Amino acid sequence: MKPNNTKFSFTPHGGGIRGADSPRSSSTFEGRFGRIFRELPAAKHSKDDLLKLALLMTAPPEMDDKGKPAAALETADHIQDDEENAGIPAGYTYFGQFIDHDITFDPMSSLMQQNDPEGLVDFRTPRLDLDNMYGRGPADQPYMYIDNKFRLGKALFANSKPTPSRDLPRYRDPENTGTSARALIGDKRNDENVIVSQLHSAFLQLHNRLVDEDAFKDATFEEIQRQVRWHYQYVVLNDFLPHICGKELIDEIMPFRLKHGSAADKKPKLQFFHYRNDPYIPLEFSVAAYRFGHSMVRPIYRLNTELKGGDNPDEATTEEKARGLEGRFFIFAGVNKRALNGFGEFPDQWAIDWSLFFDINGSGKKGGKERAQPAYKIDTSLVNPLGFLPEFSVVKDLVPPLTVAQMQPAPVNAMADPANLAARNLLRGLSMGMPSGQDIARAMGLSVIPDNELRVGKAIVDELEKAPTLVSISPAFADNAPLWYYVLAEAQHSWLKKAKHGGKGDEEPLALGPMGGRIVAETLIGLIAGDPQSFLHQDPNWLPFVGGRDSTVGKLVNYALTGQK
């Protein structure tokens, strides 16, 4: 494939990765980006066909049906909507985003980018080492640190109730009072929404909490940093990936992951992701498979149980009560302070109760407002707010009380507007010459999903088989599905069989399918296994100080804020 010489900067959603436009052709090279299936041809699609698919993949706005709640009412017995995934709490969506920002971290200045236009030769290799958090360290970025600890921002509250949560440290230019207060962190993308912003802050507090532990009282900054990195790597391998890819697949790749064993025992069994010395980021992963998380985004989230309304945190409006929006917020919206848009200060009352995002102290089994909110299912439908990404949309300042229609802009026309995330993903795959999903499935020795079973819609048992087929959009999609779409379609196709025949119906947990799951799992496992500083290399039988063998993301966050191990 002829390289595309267009230069891209890092963008939060669906954008390019500098240097990825000129990937190496070998699957065993040393470098930053490459291809696993380099022999496969690029799938050919027209831009119009992809935009039609994107429009169909974007759910309609909730405001169309005035009689329907924008979100299910949070009664005490309410645990799951049909669109929700019983197997994955919502926090994993944003932990996945946090991982993405770590492995695509770019420390180069604009001057370096000018001197290194392709961004390939002089880049460090990608690792799960929290460079998005640590930046270049206290010696080079002292404004992020106080001695061995991270600098933290203002205290946050659950409405008026004090919490241990803190905002990110921020700087406001005193000579430009109208500008946003920018976060002083290692990667600005970790402030792109309120949830990933507070998750980043929790990891800053994890570092600071370990500094204060008696067990590490004599530890250097570098030793604490290693502990935090190893905890992070451990939960990626043993918590995040089993949720996303399925425990069975992770056990197949790492049969000794939770057992004591030799270094040889602990070595992952990678079938397709191979590298010579240092691992790289496969384009099949970054451009397609790892974008599964976009389908997990919920339209609406509850941050804590103390918030009662949006316009007024102490009282919900009549419409908020009727539409299920009491104390809950759209992930993105067209009105400031009524959505979880980022890159600036948010209200002090918006402290996140992480038991609403991870299963902490049994919250995964609770109902109503105290439940751990599930992520949405991994399927071929994206919620409507992802049709108008805030960085490409106009955000208004309106005086409350506000209606739902005012908060949620009219749906973006994906045929003409680059703000639609599905369109950006599909066009990105086209520009990068991604093979079809069917070709990669065959290359992996997997059965190809028949065209008449590739659907576009929500993974709901009673609806999916009635949804339009991919080939109904265009016959050009016959045996030629875009890779990102196929990863999502494979997940819902595998799930539907289990849901119909396993007795759980829509409560059947949904993970990635065999192709998408293996690309994601082998890439992340390979990045850790190929890092000479990772715990798999240094001490493969190491167990976390926080949570031990059963450590999870939720346990790390809970410990960071409360000290509870």
pLDDT digits (tens, 9 = 90+) for 349-395: 999 999 999 999 888 888 889 999 999 999 999 998 898 876 666 66
pLDDT in tens, 157-170: 999 999 999 999 99
Q: In angstroms, rounded to a whole number, what is the distance separating the alpha carbons of residues 244 and 377?
A: 11
Q: In angstroms, rounded to a whole number, what is the distance separating the alpha carbons of residues 347 and 329?
A: 12
Please give the pLDDT value at position 319.
Answer: 80
pLDDT in tens, 185-203: 999 999 999 999 999 999 9
Q: Is the pLDDT confidence value at 108 over 50?
A: no
Tokens of 540: 């493969």
Q: Is the pLDDT confidence value at 398 over 70?
A: no
Q: In angstroms, rounded to a whole number, what is the distance separating the alpha carbons of residues 186 and 64?
A: 41
Give me the mean pLDDT over the 268-273 stretch.
98
CB count within 10 Å of CB 305 equals: 17
Please give the pLDDT value at position 5.
Answer: 36
- Is residue 470 within 8 Å of residue 479, measured between CB atoms? no
Q: Is the pLDDT confidence value at 109 over 50?
A: no
The answer to pTM > 0.85 is: yes
Q: Is the pLDDT confidence value at 21 over 50?
A: no
Q: In angstroms, rounded to a whole number, what is the distance separating the alpha carbons of residues 387 and 181?
A: 26
CB count within 10 Å of CB 152 equals: 16
With a CB cutoff of 8 Å and minimum separation 6, the contacts of 236 are 99, 128, 524, 528
**Among candidate residues 72, 82, 71, 77, the one with its CA nearest the CA of residue 504:** 82
Mean pLDDT of the chain: 87
Please give the pLDDT value at position 198.
Answer: 98
Please give the pLDDT value at position 1.
Answer: 37
Q: Is the pLDDT confidence value at 119 over 50?
A: no
Please give the single-letter amino acid code of residue 466. K
CATH numeric code, 33-562: 1.10.640
Please give the pLDDT value at position 29.
Answer: 47
Long-range contacts of 16-21 (CB under 8 A, 24+ apart): 16/428, 17/104, 17/281, 17/286, 18/106, 18/113, 18/119, 19/118, 19/119, 19/120, 19/123, 20/281, 20/283, 20/286, 20/287, 20/432, 21/118, 21/432
> Cis omega before residue 107 (within 30°)?
no
Q: In angstroms, rounded to a whole number, what is the distance separating the alpha carbons of residues 348 and 155?
A: 7
Where does 264-413 show beta strands of DSSP type E? 281-282, 300-302, 328-330, 374-376
Burial of 250 (0-12, 13-18, 19+ CB in 10 A): buried
Q: Report the phi/psi class of residue 246: left, alpha or beta, with left for phi > 0 and alpha for psi in -120 to 50.
A: left
Q: In angstroms, rounded to a whole number, what is the distance separating the alpha carbons of residues 553 and 565?
A: 12
Tokens of 319: 């419409």
Please state the domain extents for the chain.
Answer: 33-562
pLDDT in tens, 36-74: 999 999 999 999 999 999 999 999 876 545 556 666 777
Give me the mean pLDDT over the 261-277 stretch.
92
pLDDT in tens, 299-344: 999 999 999 988 789 998 888 888 788 899 989 876 666 789 888 8
**Among candidate residues 196, 227, 208, 201, the one with its CA nearest the CA of residue 90:** 196
Q: In angstroms, rounded to a whole number, what is the distance separating the alpha carbons of residues 185 and 151?
A: 9
Helices (H), 311-446: 318-322, 404-407, 421-431, 437-443
Give me the mean pLDDT over the 165-182 stretch.
85
Q: Is the pLDDT confidence value at 177 over 80?
A: no
| Least confident piece of the model among 40-44, 111-115, 150-154 | 111-115
Give me the mean pLDDT over the 509-518 stretch.
98
pLDDT in tens, 423-452: 999 999 999 999 999 999 999 999 999 999
Give the DSSP H/E element, type plus range, for residue 241. Answer: helix 241-245
